[in-house]
Amino acid sequence: VTTLDAHLAGGRGPDAADLADLVRALAAAGVTIADELARAALIGQLGTTGDTNVQGEKVKKLDVWANDVVVAALDATGRACTLVSEEMEEIRHRPERCAGGRFAVCFDPVDGSSNLDVNGIVGTIFSVLPRRGAGADHARADALQPGTAQVAAGYIMYGPSTLLMLTTGDGVHGFTLDRAQGVWIRTHTNVRIPARGRTYSINDGNFTRWPDGVRGFVEHIRAIDVASGRPYTARYAGSLVMDVHRTLLEGGIYLYPEDAAGSGKQSTGKLRLMYECSPMGMLVESAGGAASTGRARVRELAPTSPHQRVPLLIGSLEDVRLAEEFYAARRA
Ligand code: AHG
Ligand code: MN
Ligand code: MN
């Protein structure tokens, strides 16, 4: 049996111990959040606060509560002086913490919030970046780095069990929370995503706004061709953590494209680069898959703002490459 602590103790490199502090803090926040989710209906923690956030979305009580839990856990480590969160409009920078804080952390405290009120699966996503240090625009330089700079990424999935999926650049590993003991046990070692899957995941309600490449691709994978394993089957939970987790383990593709020009309001896609797409991209790539905007590798995008949205096509290498061909109109 390998615990999360034992796994982290095996980390190499000069930053391994500090990184382990951060991961332990995030995992501890996950235990607290899992407990709160389990009893939310009993203690009046479901529903909205009445506020609307910077993204124009109704804020749920648990979004705000979980944000505070993650911030407090990270602050207590003294290892991160720059934080980016879905629930914080500005980059949060605490210069007095920079002495020991060699990292910036970006996170989505509760991903899949629309599932909260229906007892559906939600998660916490995180991305760890090395701090860039000095300069007038210190906080922005720390936070706004491409996903290729990440030193760790992961998510905690609050499902029938609470599961932490993590990469620190050395493969993807999963840890299931043993609630009785209060420890995380490694249950998934060196996860590899199948080169190709048989499942696709996309919000079909956006059909009329999909770009042509996505329409063509989805039509293709829905078409019957027994020899090539088509049609694919559809799964969509509306929770990125759930949808990417299934894709990571079983293969296939998840898509959240931009709206076609002139057809809607999400012309750059919906999902956020810093705390949704980049960390999921690192995890899936580390497992042998791919993460693309349809036209470019997600992790190579240079962010310009903390809440920037980008299109996301993520999953099995062959499925993502095929979708890119439809985007490029090499296939129709
Ligand atoms: P969040 O709850 O953190 O705002 O994220 C919601 C995201 C993501 O979890 C999910 O995959 C996607 O939004 C679902 O969007 P649609 O409801 O538009 O399908
Ligand atoms: Mn989210
Ligand atoms: Mn969220």
Q: Residues 248-283: pLDDT tens digits?
A: 999 999 999 999 988 878 899 999 999 999 999 999
114 lines ligand 1 (CB under 6 A): yes
- 240-250 and 278-286 are packed helices; what angle lies between their axes, rounded to 10 degrees? 10
In this predicted structure, the answer to whether residue 230 has a pLDDT above a threshold of 80 is yes
Looking at all shown ligands, the one closest to residue 273's CA atom is 2
Q: Residues 174-188: pLDDT tens digits?
A: 999 999 999 999 999
In this predicted structure, the answer to whether residue 166 has a pLDDT above a threshold of 90 is yes
Q: What is the Cα–Cα distance from 208 to 58, expressed in whole angstroms?
A: 25
Residues forming a β-bridge with 163: 157, 176
Binning pLDDT at 50, 70 and 90, where does residue 137 land?
low
Residue 141 burial (10 A CB sphere; 0-12, 13-18, 19+):
middle
Which of 55, 70, 106, 114 for a ligand 1 pocket mutation test, highest count of atoms within 8 Å of Cβ?
A: 114
Average pLDDT value over all residues in the chain: 95
pTM more than 0.95: yes
What tokens does 39 get? 């009893």
Q: Nearest CA to 323 among 247, 241, 267, 246?
A: 247
Q: Residues 11-31: pLDDT tens digits?
A: 988 889 999 999 999 999 999
Q: Is 244 helix (H, G, I), strand (E, B) or coil?
A: helix
In the chain, pLDDT over 90 holds for what percent of residues?
86
In this predicted structure, the answer to whether residue 215 has a pLDDT above a threshold of 70 is yes
Q: Residues 74-117: pLDDT tens digits?
A: 999 999 989 999 999 999 998 877 777 789 999 999 999 999 99
Q: Which residues of 77-101 are buried (b: 16+ CB within 10 A; e: fewer)?
A: bbbbbbbbbbbbeebbbeeebbeeb
Relative to the CA of 270, which ligand 1 atom is closest? Answer: 13
In sequence order, which residues have a C-beta less than 8 Å from that of residue 78 and are 6 or more positions away?
97, 100, 101
Q: How far is the CA of 47 from the centre of ligand 3 (A)?
A: 14
111 lines ligand 1 (CB under 6 A): yes
87 lines ligand 1 (CB under 6 A): no
* Per-residue model confidence (pLDDT) at position 136: 58
Q: What is the Cα–Cα distance from 48 to 277, expressed in whole angstroms?
A: 25
Per-residue pLDDT averaged across 293-309, rounded? 97
Query: Which residue, judged by its Cα, is nearest atom 15 of ligand 1?
Result: 238
Q: How far is the CA of 254 from the centre of ligand 1 (A)?
A: 12
In sequence order, which residues have a C-beta less than 8 Å from that of residue 81 and are 6 or more positions away?
93, 94, 95, 96, 97, 98, 101, 104, 131, 142
Range of weakest confidence among 153-167, 223-237, 256-270, 276-290: 256-270
Calculate the dihedral angle through the C-alpha atoms of 98, 19, 161, 284, rounding to the nearest 10 degrees.
110
Binning pLDDT at 50, 70 and 90, where does residue 202 land?
very high
Looking at all shown ligands, the one closest to residue 109's CA atom is 3
* Per-residue model confidence (pLDDT) at position 26: 98
